[in-house]
């Protein structure tokens, strides 16, 4: 049996009748907090259709498709360890600025929350989720927000560059996490359950998603930027940003 050859995975996606477009108009882009639940569930349907079309891909790509399975969890674990080290160093040397004072004040609580999220991930039969993903050759679009993916008469996608081998849950998590951090007033546990129902996934996947959405993403990201010396902002701006991060991360869902 001949193996189909494609330059990029996007070529295969278009072969499967997914339409490449330059832009998708989305009326809620400046008022994310008002996005209705029904629209998110409709987006889940579009995500599922993408998964159905690309799952089990066995063609040949001249430009290799990355395998990001488990990458996010490992990055989250590393962030926790690095923040632990940061706090230890600040305690030894004393805080050098207002940003580090905030790290001392809130950092250990954030670490405890992050560690609890990882325990919830491990308790969701995480290794079985990875095994299922690899067995089925699951592929994620990577960017499933409303300005990159839309379902009307066809499925429309603006950018395929984030496509990778990954657990299908990872096409839901960034979308719901982003909405939560933007302050959308939604029942995220209900939405995680709805996504899993559409995808035919079990309660372990629900638990996995809720754990990831609960992770203190914004706080960790701000600390990682500061540590890396990426002085994108003045010291006062860093302090303002990390205080904002505490608000954006909100409360855990479990």
The alpha helices in the chain, defined as continuous H runs, are: 9-15, 37-54, 71-93, 98-122, 126-135, 173-181, 188-199, 203-214, 217-227, 235-249
Q: Which domains does the chain have, with CATH numbers?
A: 5-60+71-249 (3.90.1200.10)
Nearest to 149 by CA among 72, 44, 67: 44
Quick check: 200 pLDDT over 80?
yes
Work out the mean pLDDT of the chain and round it to a whole number.
93
Instruction: Find tokens 């305690």 and name the residue.
Output: 91
Give the tens place of pLDDT for each residue, 39-84: 999 999 999 999 999 998 888 899 899 999 999 999 999 999 999 9
Give the tens place of pLDDT for each residue, 120-179: 999 999 999 999 999 999 999 999 999 999 998 899 999 999 999 999 999 999 999 999
Nearest to 138 by CA among 186, 205, 220: 205
Neighbours of 56 (CB within 10 A): 11
Quick check: 227 pLDDT over 90?
no
At residue 231, the pLDDT reads 54
Residues 66, 72, 77, CA angle at the centre, nearest 5°?
135
At residue 236, the pLDDT reads 72
């Amino acid at each position: 049996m001949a193996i189909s050859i494609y330059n990029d995975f996007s070529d295969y996606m278009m072969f499967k009748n997914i339409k490449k477009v330059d832009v998708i108009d989305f009326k809620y882009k400046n008022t994310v907090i008002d996005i209705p639940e029904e629209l998110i569930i409709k987006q889940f349907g579009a995500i599922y259709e993408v998964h159905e079309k690309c799952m089990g891909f066995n063609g040949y790509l001249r430009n290799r498709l990355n395998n990001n399975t488990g990458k996010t969890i490992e990055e989250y674990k590393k962030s926790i360890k690095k923040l632990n080290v940061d706090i230890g160093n600040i305690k030894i040397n004393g805080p050098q600025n207002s940003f580090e004072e905030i790290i001392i004040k809130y950092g250990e609580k954030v670490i405890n929350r992050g560690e609890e999220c990882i325990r919830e991930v491990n308790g969701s039969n995480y290794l079985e989720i990875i095994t299922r993903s690899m067995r089925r050759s699951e592929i994620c679009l990577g960017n499933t927000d409303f300005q990159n993916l839309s379902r009307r008469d066809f499925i429309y996608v603006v950018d395929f560059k984030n496509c990778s081998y990954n657990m299908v849950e990872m096409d839901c998590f960034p979308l719901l996490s982003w909405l939560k951090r933007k302050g959308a007033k939604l029942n995220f546990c209900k939405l995680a359950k709805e996504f899993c129902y559409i995808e035919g996934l079990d309660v372990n996947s629900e638990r996995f998603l809720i754990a990831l959405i609960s992770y203190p993403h914004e706080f960790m990201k701000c600390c990682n930027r500061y540590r890396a010396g990426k002085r994108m902002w003045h010291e006062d701006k860093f302090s303002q940003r990390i205080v904002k991060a505490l608000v954006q991360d909100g409360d855990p869902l479990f």
